[in-house]
Chains A and B, each alone.
Chain A
Amino acid sequence: MTKRVYMDYAATTPVDPCVIEEMNRYLGPSDLFANPASSHWAGAEAKKAVEGARERIAHKLGAHPTEIVWTSGATESNNLALKGVAAYYQTKGRHIVTARTEHKAVLDSAQALQSEGFEVTFLTPDESGVVHPDQIKSVLRNDTILVSLMHVNNEIGVIQDIHAVADICRARGVLFHVDGAQSVGKLPIDLSRLPVDLLSFCAHKIYGPKGVGGLFVRRHPKVNLSPLQHGGGHEYGFRSGTVPSHLVTGFAHAVELAVDHMGVESTRIGTLKKRLYDGLRDTPRILLNGAVGTTVPNILNVSFAGVEGESLLHGLRNLAVSSGSACASASREPSYVLRALGRDDALAQASIRFSLGRFSTESEVDFASALVAEQVARLRDLAPECLISDI
């Protein structure tokens, strides 16, 4: 049987068996399946579980339970943060600041707001992917209402100095939203000390279920949002809709596991990442995307000179990884994140994101580096000789 390896944990993770066990309690015909908004005894049992989950997550993030709003995932959280703030504070100002390397959920939301007449400044990070706090300071205006920056970039894993940016925003009276989809449960976050106003996060990046996320909305100083969906005024009026008790309790369990084992897990995964990078470096002419020391332990992004991206991805088809290649799409646009970092189209296309996780092993890492070496060499051998030194 062909060996296949999953190395795309930054895209999504399997649900931890302990989390599944907890979720199952809220699905079957027990006393816990009811609608938590119902006023009868069964609803009260479900509501107790939902509010318990809210408390458990708030406790692990240094937040108050009433500051956690359930959503369907980080995409919805990002939409609610940007559009909700923009709608509520539009009489105060109509300028928003973000970066070119943000997740599409933020970029597309920002562009949607542009079409409604908001002004958006898209900052370009340095060549390692870092947005420097001074860049943000220099573009803030009297009518700036929001800065949105991701904590950890999903493609290259670079970590932004959100503490410094938060201090700048707080001093200027500008709200600060952080997309924490790739950092919650992986990096220490204490919202009682970190002065961000809004934080998006989700369950499925940390061994919880897909379809549930959260948005931290600070109460002191109070942040307001205009809701995007209406229908019952659930979640303090920010997000209507029946709360799925099985998803939020699973989410809470996933956050607890991730935070409680963060130190051990990040050390183990960091060791695997180093082993992978050491293995890949046997292949000549590779370029690391995201500088050493500025990225999270679980993400490694590398470009391979002289190799076409789609063929590389197909050559690695038994390895579940993500690519900067978009050859299969009609647009053929390579990774916008790597282009923003200054990589040319060919190198952006020929990039691979390896993301490791809880169930990654040394043998999987060794399989990956050997397969990459074999396929890169094979494809370079096919290329016209005149291109070998050019690409």
Chain B
Amino acid sequence: MAIRDLEYSPTVLAYFDQPHRAGTLKVPKTQMVEGRSGTTREGFVVQFQLQVAGQAITDGRYRVYGCPHGIAAAAWVVDQLIGGATRNVGQIRPQQIAEALDLPVEKMYVALIVEDALKQCAAQVEEE
């Protein structure tokens, strides 16, 4: 049960301690897009709800089961998207998340799973 030093960037620590915007949106389903990815076996599950008004993301929430890097990744993504254009949803890349949060290589899977969930949101945006 040896534990290696757990090192987190200041951004990850801040999101872990204050995971604002966690939860679910209180608006009708018709006003939001949703995406979910990951499994408990992978140690990471993330779910996004983004409120859409025209071509803009006006609000967003996430729920997450995962490590501090995963919690931070979910929170950071929602912060980036709110107030921006809907086209941004499908344009966030794993490398951006990794750089913003200083993810170690072994935690890249977190960014990939987040990207998968965002792709589901983006597909719904396109349908609308």
Contact = CB atoms under 8 A, between A and B. Distances in A.
Contacts of A155: 1
Nearest to A310: B67
B68 interface: yes
A314 B3 contact: no
A387 interface: yes
Residue among A327, A381, A390, A391 with the most chain B CB within 10 A? Answer: A327
Which size class do B's interface residues fall under? 20 to 34
Residue among A155, A311, A345, A385 with the most chain B CB within 10 A? Answer: A311
B6 A328 contact: yes
B45 interface: yes
Interface in A370-387: 381-385, 387
A285 to B, nearest CB: 14
A340 to B, nearest CB: 13
A142 to B, nearest CB: 37
Nearest to A337: B1
Contacts of B128: none
Interface residues of A, number: 33
B4 interface: yes
A335 interface: yes
Given A332-B106, A383-B63, A383-B65, A311 B47 contact: no
B1 A387 contact: no
B3 A385 contact: no
Contacts of A249: none
B63 to A, nearest CB: 4
A158 B59 CA distance: 51
B16 A314 contact: yes
A335 B47 CA distance: 28
Interface string A306-334: 10111101100000001111111110100
Interface string B92-117: 00000000000000100000000000
Residue among A308, A330, A353, A385 with the most chain B CB within 10 A? Answer: A308
A383 B71 CA distance: 10
B90 interface: no
Nearest to B36: A384
A311 B40 contact: no
Given A384-B47, A391-B40, A313 B3 contact: yes
Contact of B3 (A325, A332, A383): A325
Interface in B4-59: 4-6, 8, 16, 19, 22, 24, 36, 40-41, 43-47
Contact of A384 (B1, B19, B63): B63
Contact of B67 (A306, A327, A353): A327
Contacts of A381: 22
A108 B81 CA distance: 49
A351 to B, nearest CB: 9
Contact of A345 (B41, B65, B71): B41
B66 A308 contact: yes
A160 interface: no
B64 interface: yes
Contacts of A385: 24, 63
B23 to A, nearest CB: 8
Given A310-B67, A322-B3, A327-B43, 11 more contacts: A306-B65, A311-B16, A314-B68, A323-B3, A328-B3, A330-B106, A332-B106, A337-B1, A345-B41, A384-B36, A384-B46
Q: Top 6 closest A-B pairs, CB basis? A: A310-B67, A383-B65, A384-B63, A384-B47, A328-B4, A322-B1
